[in-house]
A and B are shown apart, each in its own frame.
Chain A
Protein backbone atom coordinates (compact mmCIF):
# COMPACT_ATOMS: atom_id res chain seq x y z
CA UNK A 1 0.00 0.00 0.00
CA UNK A 2 1.42 3.37 -0.95
CA UNK A 3 2.19 5.98 1.68
CA UNK A 4 -0.46 8.28 0.29
CA UNK A 5 -3.19 5.65 0.49
CA UNK A 6 -2.29 4.81 4.06
CA UNK A 7 -2.31 8.53 4.90
CA UNK A 8 -5.79 8.92 3.41
CA UNK A 9 -6.97 5.83 5.23
CA UNK A 10 -5.82 7.21 8.57
CA UNK A 11 -7.25 10.68 7.97
CA UNK A 12 -10.58 9.46 6.67
CA UNK A 13 -10.98 6.76 9.34
CA UNK A 14 -10.33 9.32 12.01
CA UNK A 15 -12.91 11.72 10.58
CA UNK A 16 -15.55 9.12 9.85
CA UNK A 17 -15.22 7.00 12.98
CA UNK A 18 -14.92 10.05 15.23
CA UNK A 19 -17.51 12.09 13.35
CA UNK A 20 -19.51 13.25 16.34
CA UNK A 21 -16.36 15.03 17.57
CA UNK A 22 -15.69 16.73 14.28
CA UNK A 23 -19.27 17.78 13.67
CA UNK A 24 -18.89 21.09 15.49
CA UNK A 25 -15.86 22.04 13.45
CA UNK A 26 -17.60 20.94 10.27
CA UNK A 27 -20.60 23.04 11.19
CA UNK A 28 -18.38 26.06 11.81
CA UNK A 29 -16.67 25.67 8.43
CA UNK A 30 -19.99 25.13 6.67
CA UNK A 31 -21.59 28.19 8.19
CA UNK A 32 -18.52 30.25 7.44
CA UNK A 33 -18.48 29.14 3.82
CA UNK A 34 -22.23 29.65 3.52
CA UNK A 35 -22.08 33.23 4.71
CA UNK A 36 -18.94 33.91 2.70
CA UNK A 37 -20.42 32.68 -0.56
CA UNK A 38 -23.74 34.33 0.14
CA UNK A 39 -22.10 37.65 0.92
CA UNK A 40 -19.71 37.42 -1.99
CA UNK A 41 -22.58 36.67 -4.39
CA UNK A 42 -24.70 39.52 -3.10
CA UNK A 43 -21.62 41.76 -3.12
CA UNK A 44 -20.83 40.75 -6.67
CA UNK A 45 -24.38 41.40 -7.77
CA UNK A 46 -24.97 44.57 -5.77
CA UNK A 47 -23.47 46.99 -8.30
CA UNK A 48 -25.58 45.47 -11.06
CA UNK A 49 -28.70 45.06 -8.99
CA UNK A 50 -28.42 48.43 -7.29
CA UNK A 51 -27.52 50.12 -10.54
CA UNK A 52 -30.65 48.81 -12.14
CA UNK A 53 -32.78 49.65 -9.17
CA UNK A 54 -31.45 53.16 -8.89
CA UNK A 55 -31.73 53.79 -12.59
CA UNK A 56 -35.24 52.49 -12.47
CA UNK A 57 -36.03 55.16 -9.89
CA UNK A 58 -34.93 57.85 -12.30
CA UNK A 59 -33.35 58.48 -15.61
CA UNK A 60 -29.67 59.31 -15.80
CA UNK A 61 -29.93 61.08 -19.17
CA UNK A 62 -32.69 63.33 -20.38
CA UNK A 63 -33.19 64.39 -24.00
CA UNK A 64 -34.62 67.87 -24.45
CA UNK A 65 -35.36 69.68 -27.71
CA UNK A 66 -32.51 71.76 -29.13
CA UNK A 67 -33.14 75.47 -29.74
CA UNK A 68 -36.36 77.18 -28.75
CA UNK A 69 -38.79 74.56 -29.93
CA UNK A 70 -41.12 73.28 -27.20
CA UNK A 71 -41.34 69.70 -28.44
CA UNK A 72 -38.89 67.21 -29.85
CA UNK A 73 -39.70 64.66 -32.51
CA UNK A 74 -39.75 61.07 -31.28
CA UNK A 75 -38.01 60.08 -34.53
CA UNK A 76 -35.01 62.17 -33.50
CA UNK A 77 -35.09 60.68 -30.00
CA UNK A 78 -35.08 57.22 -31.57
CA UNK A 79 -31.88 58.14 -33.42
CA UNK A 80 -30.29 59.17 -30.14
CA UNK A 81 -31.40 55.90 -28.55
CA UNK A 82 -29.86 54.01 -31.45
CA UNK A 83 -26.46 55.52 -30.75
CA UNK A 84 -26.39 54.05 -27.24
CA UNK A 85 -24.15 50.91 -27.40
CA UNK A 86 -25.91 47.55 -27.58
CA UNK A 87 -27.36 46.35 -24.29
CA UNK A 88 -26.58 49.54 -22.39
CA UNK A 89 -29.98 51.10 -22.79
CA UNK A 90 -32.15 50.02 -19.87
CA UNK A 91 -35.16 52.05 -21.00
CA UNK A 92 -36.38 55.25 -22.67
CA UNK A 93 -39.65 56.97 -21.80
CA UNK A 94 -41.18 59.98 -23.58
CA UNK A 95 -42.97 62.64 -21.56
CA UNK A 96 -45.18 65.35 -23.04
CA UNK A 97 -46.51 68.14 -20.87
CA UNK A 98 -49.73 70.04 -21.79
CA UNK A 99 -51.95 72.37 -19.83
CA UNK A 100 -55.66 71.53 -19.66
CA UNK A 101 -58.36 73.35 -17.71
CA UNK A 102 -60.56 72.04 -14.96
CA UNK A 103 -63.15 74.67 -14.00
CA UNK A 104 -60.89 77.37 -15.53
CA UNK A 105 -57.96 76.17 -13.39
CA UNK A 106 -54.94 75.08 -15.40
CA UNK A 107 -53.64 71.56 -14.68
CA UNK A 108 -50.39 70.05 -15.90
CA UNK A 109 -51.23 66.93 -17.83
CA UNK A 110 -48.48 64.43 -18.60
CA UNK A 111 -48.74 62.11 -21.55
CA UNK A 112 -46.36 59.20 -21.36
CA UNK A 113 -45.80 55.52 -21.95
CA UNK A 114 -47.73 54.12 -18.97
CA UNK A 115 -46.16 50.65 -19.22
CA UNK A 116 -42.65 52.11 -18.95
CA UNK A 117 -43.52 54.39 -16.06
CA UNK A 118 -45.13 51.53 -14.26
CA UNK A 119 -41.93 49.50 -14.58
CA UNK A 120 -39.58 52.31 -13.63
CA UNK A 121 -41.65 53.60 -10.72
CA UNK A 122 -42.43 50.57 -8.61
CA UNK A 123 -42.37 52.74 -5.47
CA UNK A 124 -45.42 54.80 -6.53
CA UNK A 125 -48.38 54.21 -4.30
CA UNK A 126 -51.51 53.86 -6.39
CA UNK A 127 -55.02 53.88 -5.01
CA UNK A 128 -57.11 52.30 -7.71
CA UNK A 129 -55.50 51.24 -10.95
CA UNK A 130 -53.38 52.29 -13.89
CA UNK A 131 -55.40 53.61 -16.88
CA UNK A 132 -56.65 50.75 -18.98
CA UNK A 133 -59.76 51.85 -20.83
CA UNK A 134 -60.37 54.74 -23.20
CA UNK A 135 -60.48 58.19 -21.53
CA UNK A 136 -59.04 56.90 -18.26
CA UNK A 137 -56.39 58.98 -16.46
CA UNK A 138 -54.56 58.99 -13.14
CA UNK A 139 -54.46 62.06 -10.91
CA UNK A 140 -51.81 63.04 -8.40
CA UNK A 141 -52.73 62.98 -4.74
CA UNK A 142 -52.64 66.81 -4.43
CA UNK A 143 -55.15 67.24 -7.26
CA UNK A 144 -57.23 64.46 -5.79
CA UNK A 145 -57.49 66.31 -2.47
CA UNK A 146 -58.12 69.76 -3.90
CA UNK A 147 -60.66 68.73 -6.50
CA UNK A 148 -62.12 65.81 -4.56
CA UNK A 149 -61.44 63.43 -7.38
CA UNK A 150 -61.05 59.78 -6.45
CA UNK A 151 -60.60 56.49 -8.15
CA UNK A 152 -63.83 56.04 -10.15
CA UNK A 153 -64.77 59.74 -10.26
CA UNK A 154 -65.57 61.41 -13.57
CA UNK A 155 -64.56 64.97 -14.43
CA UNK A 156 -64.33 67.33 -17.41
CA UNK A 157 -61.27 69.11 -18.74
CA UNK A 158 -61.07 71.73 -21.47
CA UNK A 159 -58.36 71.10 -24.04
CA UNK A 160 -56.68 73.87 -26.08
CA UNK A 161 -55.66 72.36 -29.40
CA UNK A 162 -52.66 73.38 -31.47
CA UNK A 163 -54.81 75.60 -33.69
CA UNK A 164 -56.33 77.34 -30.67
CA UNK A 165 -59.67 75.52 -30.80
CA UNK A 166 -61.10 74.64 -27.37
CA UNK A 167 -62.93 71.43 -26.63
CA UNK A 168 -64.37 69.86 -23.45
CA UNK A 169 -63.95 66.13 -22.78
CA UNK A 170 -65.06 63.87 -19.98
CA UNK A 171 -62.46 61.69 -18.22
CA UNK A 172 -62.63 58.93 -15.64
CA UNK A 173 -60.11 58.62 -12.77
CA UNK A 174 -58.66 55.08 -12.78
CA UNK A 175 -56.42 55.72 -9.79
CA UNK A 176 -54.77 58.26 -7.50
CA UNK A 177 -50.97 58.31 -7.45
CA UNK A 178 -48.72 59.34 -4.57
CA UNK A 179 -45.07 59.51 -5.56
CA UNK A 180 -43.73 62.14 -3.20
CA UNK A 181 -42.55 63.97 -6.31
CA UNK A 182 -44.02 66.37 -8.88
CA UNK A 183 -46.40 63.67 -10.12
CA UNK A 184 -48.55 64.38 -7.06
CA UNK A 185 -49.62 67.62 -8.78
CA UNK A 186 -50.07 66.17 -12.26
CA UNK A 187 -52.71 64.40 -14.29
CA UNK A 188 -51.22 61.40 -16.08
CA UNK A 189 -52.57 59.88 -19.28
CA UNK A 190 -51.27 57.61 -22.03
CA UNK A 191 -49.34 59.54 -24.66
CA UNK A 192 -51.60 58.13 -27.39
CA UNK A 193 -54.68 59.63 -25.71
CA UNK A 194 -52.96 63.01 -25.44
CA UNK A 195 -52.00 62.91 -29.12
CA UNK A 196 -55.58 62.16 -30.03
CA UNK A 197 -56.90 65.06 -27.93
CA UNK A 198 -54.25 67.73 -28.48
CA UNK A 199 -52.77 66.84 -31.86
CA UNK A 200 -49.01 67.11 -32.59
CA UNK A 201 -48.46 63.37 -33.03
CA UNK A 202 -45.02 61.79 -32.59
CA UNK A 203 -43.68 64.49 -30.28
CA UNK A 204 -42.62 64.75 -26.67
CA UNK A 205 -41.37 67.49 -24.35
CA UNK A 206 -38.53 65.31 -23.07
CA UNK A 207 -37.37 61.72 -23.30
CA UNK A 208 -35.91 60.19 -20.16
CA UNK A 209 -33.33 57.51 -20.71
CA UNK A 210 -31.78 54.96 -18.34
CA UNK A 211 -28.37 53.89 -19.51
CA UNK A 212 -25.96 51.46 -17.82
CA UNK A 213 -22.49 52.90 -17.41
CA UNK A 214 -20.33 55.11 -15.22
CA UNK A 215 -20.33 58.88 -15.42
CA UNK A 216 -17.35 59.05 -17.80
CA UNK A 217 -19.06 56.70 -20.24
CA UNK A 218 -22.26 58.70 -19.98
CA UNK A 219 -20.47 61.98 -20.61
CA UNK A 220 -18.81 60.73 -23.76
CA UNK A 221 -22.11 59.21 -24.89
CA UNK A 222 -23.82 62.58 -24.37
CA UNK A 223 -21.21 64.27 -26.55
CA UNK A 224 -21.69 61.65 -29.22
CA UNK A 225 -25.48 62.12 -29.23
CA UNK A 226 -25.14 65.89 -29.31
CA UNK A 227 -22.90 65.50 -32.32
CA UNK A 228 -24.88 62.87 -34.23
CA UNK A 229 -28.42 64.07 -33.49
CA UNK A 230 -28.38 67.88 -33.45
CA UNK A 231 -32.13 68.13 -33.01
CA UNK A 232 -31.94 66.87 -29.43
CA UNK A 233 -29.80 67.99 -26.51
CA UNK A 234 -28.82 65.31 -23.97
CA UNK A 235 -28.55 66.31 -20.31
CA UNK A 236 -27.02 64.13 -17.63
CA UNK A 237 -28.79 63.68 -14.33
CA UNK A 238 -25.86 63.75 -11.90
CA UNK A 239 -27.67 63.53 -8.61
CA UNK A 240 -28.88 60.00 -9.06
CA UNK A 241 -25.57 58.60 -10.14
CA UNK A 242 -23.86 60.08 -7.12
CA UNK A 243 -26.35 58.66 -4.70
CA UNK A 244 -26.07 55.33 -6.45
CA UNK A 245 -22.33 55.35 -5.82
CA UNK A 246 -22.59 56.34 -2.16
CA UNK A 247 -25.27 53.78 -1.31
CA UNK A 248 -23.21 51.14 -3.05
CA UNK A 249 -20.12 52.10 -1.11
CA UNK A 250 -21.89 51.85 2.22
CA UNK A 251 -23.44 48.50 1.37
CA UNK A 252 -20.11 47.10 0.31
CA UNK A 253 -18.45 48.18 3.54
CA UNK A 254 -21.26 46.45 5.42
CA UNK A 255 -20.72 43.27 3.45
CA UNK A 256 -16.98 43.39 4.15
CA UNK A 257 -17.61 43.82 7.86
CA UNK A 258 -20.12 41.00 8.17
CA UNK A 259 -17.91 38.67 6.16
CA UNK A 260 -14.84 39.47 8.24
CA UNK A 261 -16.72 38.88 11.48
CA UNK A 262 -18.15 35.58 10.32
CA UNK A 263 -14.76 34.35 9.12
CA UNK A 264 -13.28 35.32 12.47
CA UNK A 265 -15.99 33.38 14.31
CA UNK A 266 -15.39 30.41 12.02
CA UNK A 267 -11.73 30.52 12.91
CA UNK A 268 -12.52 30.54 16.60
CA UNK A 269 -14.95 27.64 16.16
CA UNK A 270 -12.47 25.54 14.22
CA UNK A 271 -9.55 26.54 16.42
CA UNK A 272 -11.20 25.60 19.71
CA UNK A 273 -12.51 22.34 18.30
CA UNK A 274 -9.08 21.39 17.03
CA UNK A 275 -7.60 22.37 20.39
CA UNK A 276 -10.02 20.01 22.15
CA UNK A 277 -9.34 17.31 19.61
CA UNK A 278 -5.59 17.55 20.15
CA UNK A 279 -6.02 17.44 23.94
CA UNK A 280 -8.31 14.43 23.69
CA UNK A 281 -5.88 12.61 21.48
CA UNK A 282 -2.70 13.16 23.48
CA UNK A 283 -2.35 9.44 24.13
CA UNK A 284 -2.75 8.66 20.48
CA UNK A 285 -0.13 11.28 19.62
CA UNK A 286 2.21 9.89 22.29
CA UNK A 287 1.70 6.39 20.94
CA UNK A 288 2.41 7.43 17.37
CA UNK A 289 5.59 9.14 18.52
CA UNK A 290 6.59 6.13 20.61
CA UNK A 291 6.35 3.85 17.60
CA UNK A 292 8.47 6.23 15.57
CA UNK A 293 6.27 8.92 14.01
CA UNK A 294 8.11 12.12 13.30
CA UNK A 295 6.65 15.47 14.25
CA UNK A 296 5.94 16.38 10.68
CA UNK A 297 3.95 13.14 10.20
CA UNK A 298 1.77 14.07 13.15
CA UNK A 299 1.33 17.65 11.94
CA UNK A 300 0.58 16.30 8.48
CA UNK A 301 -2.13 13.96 9.73
CA UNK A 302 -3.92 16.63 11.74
CA UNK A 303 -3.66 19.14 8.91
CA UNK A 304 -4.95 16.42 6.58
CA UNK A 305 -7.98 16.08 8.80
CA UNK A 306 -8.61 19.80 8.87
CA UNK A 307 -8.15 20.03 5.10
CA UNK A 308 -10.72 17.29 4.59
CA UNK A 309 -12.98 19.19 6.96
CA UNK A 310 -12.45 22.37 4.98
CA UNK A 311 -13.24 20.66 1.69
CA UNK A 312 -16.43 19.03 2.93
CA UNK A 313 -17.51 22.16 4.81
CA UNK A 314 -16.61 24.30 1.82
CA UNK A 315 -18.72 22.23 -0.56
CA UNK A 316 -21.68 22.18 1.84
CA UNK A 317 -21.24 25.92 2.34
CA UNK A 318 -21.18 26.60 -1.38
CA UNK A 319 -24.58 25.00 -1.77
CA UNK A 320 -25.87 26.56 1.43
CA UNK A 321 -24.55 29.95 0.41
CA UNK A 322 -26.14 29.68 -2.99
CA UNK A 323 -29.57 29.22 -1.44
CA UNK A 324 -28.81 31.90 1.14
CA UNK A 325 -27.85 34.49 -1.48
CA UNK A 326 -30.78 33.41 -3.60
CA UNK A 327 -33.11 34.09 -0.68
CA UNK A 328 -31.48 37.46 0.10
CA UNK A 329 -31.52 38.57 -3.49
CA UNK A 330 -35.11 37.47 -4.03
CA UNK A 331 -36.37 39.27 -0.96
CA UNK A 332 -34.27 42.42 -1.34
CA UNK A 333 -34.06 42.85 -5.10
CA UNK A 334 -36.75 40.51 -6.36
CA UNK A 335 -34.23 38.87 -8.67
CA UNK A 336 -32.37 35.59 -8.62
CA UNK A 337 -28.58 35.37 -8.56
CA UNK A 338 -26.47 32.95 -10.51
CA UNK A 339 -23.52 30.83 -9.29
CA UNK A 340 -20.36 32.64 -10.31
CA UNK A 341 -17.41 30.31 -10.80
CA UNK A 342 -14.81 32.76 -9.44
CA UNK A 343 -16.86 33.17 -6.27
CA UNK A 344 -17.19 29.41 -5.82
CA UNK A 345 -13.43 29.04 -6.19
CA UNK A 346 -12.80 31.95 -3.83
CA UNK A 347 -15.10 30.37 -1.24
CA UNK A 348 -13.21 27.09 -1.46
CA UNK A 349 -9.83 28.77 -1.13
CA UNK A 350 -11.04 30.90 1.79
CA UNK A 351 -12.50 27.94 3.63
CA UNK A 352 -9.23 26.02 3.18
CA UNK A 353 -7.17 28.99 4.32
CA UNK A 354 -9.31 29.78 7.35
CA UNK A 355 -9.50 26.15 8.48
CA UNK A 356 -5.79 25.49 8.11
CA UNK A 357 -4.89 28.77 9.77
CA UNK A 358 -7.21 28.03 12.69
CA UNK A 359 -5.81 24.50 13.08
CA UNK A 360 -2.19 25.52 12.89
CA UNK A 361 -1.68 26.48 16.51
CA UNK A 362 -3.46 23.48 18.07
CA UNK A 363 -1.73 21.12 15.64
CA UNK A 364 1.71 22.50 16.36
CA UNK A 365 0.98 21.98 20.05
CA UNK A 366 0.34 18.32 19.28
CA UNK A 367 4.06 17.90 18.68
CA UNK A 368 4.79 18.91 22.28
CA UNK A 369 3.32 15.64 23.55
CA UNK A 370 6.01 13.40 25.05
CA UNK A 371 6.13 9.80 23.84
CA UNK A 372 6.91 8.65 27.37
CA UNK A 373 3.27 9.20 28.41
CA UNK A 374 2.44 5.82 26.90
CA UNK A 375 4.48 4.01 29.51
CA UNK A 376 3.42 6.36 32.30
CA UNK A 377 -0.16 5.50 31.41
CA UNK A 378 -1.69 8.83 32.37
Chain B
Protein backbone atom coordinates (compact mmCIF):
# COMPACT_ATOMS: atom_id res chain seq x y z
CA UNK B 1 0.00 0.00 0.00
CA UNK B 2 1.09 3.61 -0.65
CA UNK B 3 2.89 5.66 1.94
CA UNK B 4 0.62 8.21 3.51
CA UNK B 5 3.44 9.86 5.43
CA UNK B 6 7.10 10.27 4.68
CA UNK B 7 9.75 12.09 6.69
CA UNK B 8 13.11 12.55 4.96
CA UNK B 9 16.10 13.90 6.90
CA UNK B 10 13.86 15.95 9.14
CA UNK B 11 15.61 18.15 11.71
CA UNK B 12 14.10 20.50 14.26
CA UNK B 13 16.08 22.87 16.42
CA UNK B 14 14.87 25.34 19.03
CA UNK B 15 17.74 27.76 19.42
CA UNK B 16 20.54 25.53 20.78
CA UNK B 17 18.29 22.54 21.41
CA UNK B 18 18.32 19.89 18.70
CA UNK B 19 14.91 18.37 19.33
CA UNK B 20 14.95 16.14 16.23
CA UNK B 21 17.86 15.06 14.07
CA UNK B 22 17.80 13.31 10.68
CA UNK B 23 14.53 11.55 11.10
CA UNK B 24 13.57 9.20 8.27
CA UNK B 25 10.24 7.50 8.58
CA UNK B 26 7.60 6.12 6.23
CA UNK B 27 4.11 5.18 7.30
CA UNK B 28 1.80 3.20 5.06
CA UNK B 29 -1.88 3.91 4.77
CA UNK B 30 -3.82 1.98 7.41
CA UNK B 31 -0.79 1.42 9.63
CA UNK B 32 -0.91 1.83 13.42
CA UNK B 33 2.41 3.23 14.64
CA UNK B 34 3.42 3.89 18.24
CA UNK B 35 6.15 6.42 18.94
CA UNK B 36 7.90 5.79 22.21
CA UNK B 37 10.83 7.28 24.05
CA UNK B 38 11.83 8.97 27.23
CA UNK B 39 10.70 12.43 28.21
CA UNK B 40 12.29 15.14 26.11
CA UNK B 41 13.24 12.75 23.33
CA UNK B 42 11.30 14.74 20.72
CA UNK B 43 8.01 12.86 20.42
CA UNK B 44 5.73 15.88 20.71
CA UNK B 45 8.01 17.86 18.43
CA UNK B 46 7.57 15.16 15.82
CA UNK B 47 3.81 15.13 16.25
CA UNK B 48 3.69 18.89 15.78
CA UNK B 49 5.57 18.55 12.49
CA UNK B 50 3.45 15.69 11.21
CA UNK B 51 0.31 17.49 12.36
CA UNK B 52 1.24 20.60 10.36
CA UNK B 53 1.42 22.77 13.48
CA UNK B 54 5.14 23.49 13.27
CA UNK B 55 7.42 23.47 10.26
CA UNK B 56 10.60 21.46 10.42
CA UNK B 57 13.86 23.39 10.43
CA UNK B 58 15.09 21.24 7.56
CA UNK B 59 14.11 18.10 5.69
CA UNK B 60 11.09 17.06 3.72
CA UNK B 61 7.66 15.97 4.97
CA UNK B 62 5.21 14.43 2.56
CA UNK B 63 1.66 13.87 3.77
CA UNK B 64 -0.84 12.16 1.51
CA UNK B 65 1.23 13.04 -1.53
CA UNK B 66 1.73 16.69 -0.59
CA UNK B 67 5.05 18.22 0.36
CA UNK B 68 3.89 20.03 3.47
CA UNK B 69 7.36 21.27 4.31
CA UNK B 70 6.89 23.77 1.49
CA UNK B 71 3.47 25.11 2.40
CA UNK B 72 2.59 28.42 4.04
CA UNK B 73 0.57 28.87 7.22
CA UNK B 74 -2.77 29.17 5.45
CA UNK B 75 -2.27 25.96 3.47
CA UNK B 76 -1.11 24.15 6.59
CA UNK B 77 -4.35 25.19 8.27
CA UNK B 78 -6.27 23.64 5.40
CA UNK B 79 -4.32 20.37 5.74
CA UNK B 80 -4.96 20.23 9.50
CA UNK B 81 -8.62 20.77 8.83
CA UNK B 82 -9.00 18.26 6.00
CA UNK B 83 -6.56 15.44 6.73
CA UNK B 84 -5.68 15.32 10.38
CA UNK B 85 -7.52 14.23 13.51
CA UNK B 86 -5.79 15.38 16.69
CA UNK B 87 -6.07 13.84 20.15
CA UNK B 88 -4.12 15.26 23.11
CA UNK B 89 -3.20 14.31 26.62
CA UNK B 90 -4.99 17.37 28.02
CA UNK B 91 -8.44 17.09 26.60
CA UNK B 92 -8.78 20.54 25.09
CA UNK B 93 -12.43 21.30 24.82
CA UNK B 94 -14.23 24.61 24.47
CA UNK B 95 -15.53 25.21 27.96
CA UNK B 96 -18.63 27.21 27.05
CA UNK B 97 -19.95 24.75 24.46
CA UNK B 98 -21.76 21.48 25.16
CA UNK B 99 -20.38 18.12 24.11
CA UNK B 100 -22.30 18.02 20.87
CA UNK B 101 -21.47 21.67 20.12
CA UNK B 102 -17.76 20.95 20.61
CA UNK B 103 -18.02 18.40 17.83
CA UNK B 104 -20.05 20.75 15.68
CA UNK B 105 -17.29 23.38 15.92
CA UNK B 106 -14.92 20.98 14.15
CA UNK B 107 -17.58 20.38 11.49
CA UNK B 108 -18.13 24.11 11.20
CA UNK B 109 -14.48 24.88 10.50
CA UNK B 110 -14.31 21.96 8.08
CA UNK B 111 -17.51 22.41 6.13
CA UNK B 112 -20.97 22.35 7.62
CA UNK B 113 -22.17 21.84 11.19
CA UNK B 114 -24.52 18.85 11.22
CA UNK B 115 -26.05 18.16 14.61
CA UNK B 116 -27.40 14.73 13.64
CA UNK B 117 -24.02 13.51 12.50
CA UNK B 118 -22.38 14.98 15.62
CA UNK B 119 -24.87 13.14 17.84
CA UNK B 120 -24.16 9.89 16.03
CA UNK B 121 -20.44 10.40 16.57
CA UNK B 122 -21.09 10.87 20.30
CA UNK B 123 -23.19 7.72 20.28
CA UNK B 124 -20.29 5.76 18.77
CA UNK B 125 -17.96 6.72 21.65
CA UNK B 126 -20.69 5.96 24.18
CA UNK B 127 -21.56 9.56 25.05
CA UNK B 128 -25.01 9.81 23.49
CA UNK B 129 -26.59 10.53 26.87
CA UNK B 130 -24.10 13.33 27.64
CA UNK B 131 -24.58 15.38 24.47
CA UNK B 132 -25.95 18.47 26.23
CA UNK B 133 -23.41 18.59 29.03
CA UNK B 134 -20.60 21.11 29.31
CA UNK B 135 -17.04 19.71 29.37
CA UNK B 136 -16.63 20.45 33.09
CA UNK B 137 -19.61 18.22 33.79
CA UNK B 138 -17.86 15.24 32.15
CA UNK B 139 -15.32 12.87 33.67
CA UNK B 140 -11.78 12.69 32.32
CA UNK B 141 -12.53 9.52 30.37
CA UNK B 142 -15.66 11.04 28.93
CA UNK B 143 -13.79 14.18 27.95
CA UNK B 144 -11.16 12.12 26.14
CA UNK B 145 -13.81 10.14 24.29
CA UNK B 146 -15.40 13.46 23.32
CA UNK B 147 -12.01 14.62 21.97
CA UNK B 148 -11.73 11.42 19.97
CA UNK B 149 -15.22 11.87 18.55
CA UNK B 150 -14.28 15.41 17.55
CA UNK B 151 -11.01 14.25 15.96
CA UNK B 152 -12.86 11.68 13.86
CA UNK B 153 -15.85 13.75 12.80
CA UNK B 154 -14.36 15.00 9.52
CA UNK B 155 -13.01 11.57 8.48
CA UNK B 156 -9.32 12.44 8.71
CA UNK B 157 -6.73 10.57 6.65
CA UNK B 158 -4.49 10.21 9.66
CA UNK B 159 -5.11 10.23 13.40
CA UNK B 160 -2.43 11.72 15.65
CA UNK B 161 -2.67 11.06 19.37
CA UNK B 162 -0.13 12.43 21.88
CA UNK B 163 -0.39 10.48 25.12
CA UNK B 164 -4.12 9.91 24.64
CA UNK B 165 -4.33 7.79 27.77
CA UNK B 166 -1.87 9.71 29.91
CA UNK B 167 -4.57 11.09 32.19
CA UNK B 168 -6.87 8.05 32.18
CA UNK B 169 -7.35 5.06 34.45
CA UNK B 170 -7.14 1.51 33.12
CA UNK B 171 -10.83 1.11 32.29
CA UNK B 172 -10.89 4.32 30.32
CA UNK B 173 -7.58 3.47 28.68
CA UNK B 174 -9.09 0.19 27.49
CA UNK B 175 -12.14 2.00 26.17
CA UNK B 176 -9.89 4.31 24.13
CA UNK B 177 -7.87 1.37 22.85
CA UNK B 178 -11.09 -0.34 21.78
CA UNK B 179 -12.00 2.71 19.74
CA UNK B 180 -8.54 2.73 18.15
CA UNK B 181 -8.87 -0.93 17.26
CA UNK B 182 -12.18 -0.24 15.56
CA UNK B 183 -10.66 2.64 13.60
CA UNK B 184 -7.71 0.49 12.66
CA UNK B 185 -10.04 -2.22 11.40
CA UNK B 186 -11.83 0.35 9.29
CA UNK B 187 -8.50 1.26 7.68
CA UNK B 188 -7.55 4.47 9.49
CA UNK B 189 -3.89 5.40 9.84
CA UNK B 190 -3.02 5.97 13.51
CA UNK B 191 0.10 7.45 15.07
CA UNK B 192 0.18 7.30 18.86
CA UNK B 193 2.80 8.81 21.14
CA UNK B 194 2.96 6.98 24.44
CA UNK B 195 5.09 6.20 27.46
CA UNK B 196 3.07 3.15 28.24
CA UNK B 197 4.40 -0.17 26.83
CA UNK B 198 0.90 -1.48 27.30
CA UNK B 199 -0.56 1.13 24.92
CA UNK B 200 2.38 0.71 22.56
CA UNK B 201 1.82 -3.03 22.38
CA UNK B 202 -1.50 -2.49 20.57
CA UNK B 203 0.27 -0.93 17.57
CA UNK B 204 1.55 -2.71 14.44
CA UNK B 205 4.91 -1.03 14.76
CA UNK B 206 6.92 0.81 17.39
CA UNK B 207 9.31 3.67 16.62
CA UNK B 208 11.71 4.64 19.39
CA UNK B 209 13.25 8.06 19.83
CA UNK B 210 16.15 9.04 22.03
CA UNK B 211 17.62 12.54 22.28
CA UNK B 212 16.03 13.46 18.99
CA UNK B 213 17.34 10.43 17.11
CA UNK B 214 15.36 7.47 15.85
CA UNK B 215 16.97 4.50 17.54
CA UNK B 216 14.70 1.70 16.44
CA UNK B 217 11.83 1.01 14.12
CA UNK B 218 10.30 -2.41 14.35
CA UNK B 219 7.27 -4.29 13.12
CA UNK B 220 5.77 -5.94 16.13
CA UNK B 221 5.27 -9.66 15.91
CA UNK B 222 1.65 -10.56 15.67
Complex contacts, A283 vs chain B, CB 8 Å = 92
Q: Is the CB of B112 within 8 A of A292?
A: no
Q: Is the CB of B105 within 8 A of A10?
A: yes
Cβ-defined partner of B77 (8 Å) among A1, A10, A293:
A293
Complex contacts, B104 vs chain A, CB 8 Å = 1, 6
Number of A-B contacts (CB under 8 A): 95
Q: How far is the CA of A290 from the CA of B112 in the complex (A)?
A: 18
Q: Which of A11-19, A156-164, A190-198 contacts B (4 or more CB under 8 A)?
A: A11-19
Q: Is the CB of B105 within 8 A of A288?
A: yes
Q: Is the CB of A297 within 8 A of B109?
A: yes
Q: Is the CB of A374 within 8 A of B109?
A: no
Please tell me if A375 contacts chain B, counting CB pairs below 8 Å. yes
Q: How far is the CA of A370 from the CA of B80 in the complex (A)?
A: 13
Q: A13-B101, A290-B51, A291-B106 are in contact. Are A376 and B44 (CB under 8 A)?
A: yes
From residue 2 to 27 of chain A, which have CB atoms closer than 8 A to chain B?
Answer: 3, 5-7, 9-10, 13-14, 16-18
Q: How far is the CA of A290 from the CA of B77 in the complex (A)?
A: 8
Q: Is the CB of A292 within 8 A of B110?
A: yes
Please tell me if A284 contacts chain B, counting CB pairs below 8 Å. yes
Q: Is the CB of A290 within 8 A of B113?
A: no
Q: Is the CB of A290 within 8 A of B150?
A: no
Complex contacts, A372 vs chain B, CB 8 Å = 48, 53-54
Q: Which residue of A lies closest to B44 (CB)?
A: A375
Please tell me if A314 contacts chain B, counting CB pairs below 8 Å. no
- Most A CB contacts (10 A, CB to CB) among B48, B110, B162 go to B48
Please tell me if B205 contacts chain A, counting CB pairs below 8 Å. no
Q: Which residue of B lies closest to A289 (CB)?
A: B77
- Seen from chain B, the residues whose Cβ lies within 8 Å of a Cβ on chain A are 44, 47-48, 51, 53-54, 74, 77-78, 80-82, 86, 88-90, 92-97, 101, 104-106, 108-110, 112-115, 134, 150, 162
Q: Could you give 14 example pairs across A and B, Cβ below 8 Å?
A: A1-B112, A3-B112, A3-B113, A9-B101, A10-B108, A18-B95, A284-B94, A287-B93, A290-B92, A292-B110, A294-B77, A370-B53, A375-B86, A377-B88
6 nearest A-B residue pairs (beta carbon): A292-B81, A17-B96, A372-B53, A6-B113, A1-B113, A287-B92
